[in-house]
Amino acid sequence: MAVLPCYNTSMGGYGSGRQNGRPVAESCLFIDLAWMIRTGRAVPGEYRQGGLSWSCGDQPSGDIRYTCDMRELEDAWLELRFTVSQRSTGASRDHAQRIGLSCTRPNYGGRRWWMHCPRTGQRVGKLFVPPGGELFASRQAWRLGYRSQRSSERDKPFDALFRLQKKLGGTQGWEAGLAPRPKGMWRRTYDRHWERYFELDDACAATMASLFLKLGNAPGW
């Protein structure tokens, strides 16, 4: 069973970071569909089942069983079945959540797969659950912020990603993608921006994996 990407926290009742009264993305568990596809846990055109788990320090604190059906482009979905452990009481609760999937075709070839936020319907690459939450949803749905104090070296790929998003006039955020092609921009130029976005997205994921290892929560990537 692979370890679900997370920070130094466990789901439900764990210690968390906050910024201006809001949870921050760095304190959340998240599901990254692109990572699941890269590691063979989800395969376009196939039906897959498997397991993911997470821990607080070196102590197990929850697990996920998932089913991913990507055989039909118009009816693809990811189902999560997970148990939330409450550290304060030791009690646990079972949850099931189905997430719709869809794909787009970039002009430079291939397909890009997305999840749909169960709260907003927004097409995103990542879904989060903050401290105390029991539903995976988009960063916008949870109104998650980012930490104001960051390591400049560690966050270079995130800063570059946010600059690219701002340049195109879109929402800044790791999972936000790019804004629609601005009027007057050559399509081949816009496609190059998407290629750069995917490169930075992978770099951000690698940076987070390195941080997990330092915190003692290796995600098994």
Of 79-88, 107-116, 188-197, highest mean pLDDT: 188-197
pLDDT of residue 185: 86
Does the residue 221 lie in any domain? no
User: What digits encode the pLDDT tens for the residues 4-38?
Assistant: 444 333 332 233 344 444 556 666 778 889 888 98
| C-alpha distance from residue 125 to each of 7, 17, 115, 135 (Å) | 18, 23, 6, 16
Q: Are the beta carbons of 158 and 204 closer than 8 angstroms? A: yes
Specify which residues 48 forms β-bridges with: 68
Does the residue 119 lie in any domain? yes
What does DSSP assign to residue 137? B
Amino acid at 125: G
Does the residue 72 lie in any domain? yes
Does the residue 35 lie in any domain? yes
Overall domain count for the chain: 1
Best CA proximity match to 11, nearest among 56, 43, 42: 56
* pTM of the predicted protein model: 0.60
Q: Is the pLDDT of residue 155 over 90?
A: no
Residue 104 and residue 119: Cα distance in Å, rounded? 21
Does the residue 220 lie in any domain? no
Structure token pair of residue 195: 């290629």
Does the residue 13 lie in any domain? yes
pLDDT of residue 47: 97
Confidence band (pLDDT; 50, 70, 90) for 69? very high
Confidence band (pLDDT; 50, 70, 90) for 76? very high
189-195: list long-range contacts, CB under 8 Å, 24+ apart: 191/106, 191/107, 191/108, 193/164, 193/168, 194/106, 194/108, 195/108
Best CA proximity match to 85, nearest among 23, 31, 13, 8: 13
Does the residue 23 lie in any domain? yes
Give me the domain span that covers residue 173: 2-214
